[in-house]
Amino acid sequence: MVRSPCVSVGRERAERVRRELLRAGLLRTDLRPRREGERVLFPVTDPGALGGLLGDLGAELTWSEFEEVPRRPRSLREAVEGIPEELLNEVPSSFDVVGDIAVIHIPPALEPYAAELGRAVLKMSPSIRVVLGEAGPVSGEFRTREYVHLAGERRTHTVHRENGCVFEVDLARAYFSPRLSGERSRVVSMVREGERVLDMFSGVGPFAIQIARHRGVPVTAVELNPDAYRFLVRNVALNRVERLVEAVNEDARRVAASRPSAYDRVIMNHPSASLEFLREAMIAAREGATLHVYGFASSVADWEWKVRSRLEELGRVPSGLTVRKVREVSASRIIAVADVTL
Ligand X SMILES: C[S@@+](CC[C@H](N)C(=O)[O-])C[C@H]1O[C@@H](n2cnc3c(N)ncnc32)[C@H](O)[C@@H]1O
Which residues in this chain contact ligand X in the complex, by CB under 6 A?
Answer: 141-143, 175-176, 180, 201-203, 206-207, 222-225, 228, 251-253, 269-270
Continuous H helices in the chain: 14-23, 53-56, 76-79, 114-124, 181-190, 206-215, 226-238, 252-257, 278-284, 300-313
DSSP 163: T
CB closer to ligand X out of 4 and 225: 225
CB closer to ligand X out of 28 and 143: 143
CB closer to ligand X out of 56 and 141: 141
CB closer to ligand X out of 113 and 167: 167
DSSP 258: T
CB closer to ligand X out of 207 and 303: 207
Q: How far is the CB of 307 from ligand X (least distance, A)?
A: 17
What is the pairing mode between strands 60-68 and 285-297? Answer: unpaired
Query: Of 9, 4, 3, 5, which Cα lies nearest the Cα of 40?
Result: 9
Task: Return the bridge partners of 98, or none.
Answer: 101
C-alpha 208/C-alpha 244 separation (Å) is 9
Q: How far is the CB of 277 from ligand X (least distance, A)?
A: 7
CB closer to ligand X out of 225 and 239: 225
Residue number of the CB atom closest to ligand X: 203
Residue 337 makes CB contacts below 8 A (sequence gap 6+) with: 183, 292, 293, 294, 295, 303, 323, 324, 326
Q: How far is the CB of 309 from ligand X (least distance, A)?
A: 22
Q: How far is the CB of 239 from ligand X (least distance, A)?
A: 15
CB closer to ligand X out of 124 and 132: 132
CB closer to ligand X out of 50 and 334: 334
Query: How large is the C-alpha radius of gyration of the chain?
Result: 27
Task: Return the bridge partners of 290, or none.
Answer: 265, 341
Q: How far is the CB of 279 from ligand X (least distance, A)?
A: 13
Query: Of 214, 207, 217, which Cα lies nearest the Cα of 244?
Result: 217
Q: How far is the CB of 341 from ligand X (least distance, A)?
A: 21
Give the count of alpha carbons within 13 A of 60, CB side only: 5
Q: How far is the CB of 148 from ligand X (least distance, A)?
A: 22
Length, in residues, of the chain: 342
Q: How far apart are the first and last CA of the chain?
A: 70
The answer to whether 127 touches 110, Cβ cutoff 8 Å, is: no
The answer to whether 234 touches 223, Cβ cutoff 8 Å, is: no
C-alpha 236/C-alpha 246 separation (Å) is 9
Q: How far is the CB of 331 from ligand X (least distance, A)?
A: 21
CB closer to ligand X out of 24 and 273: 273
Q: How far is the CB of 247 from ligand X (least distance, A)?
A: 12
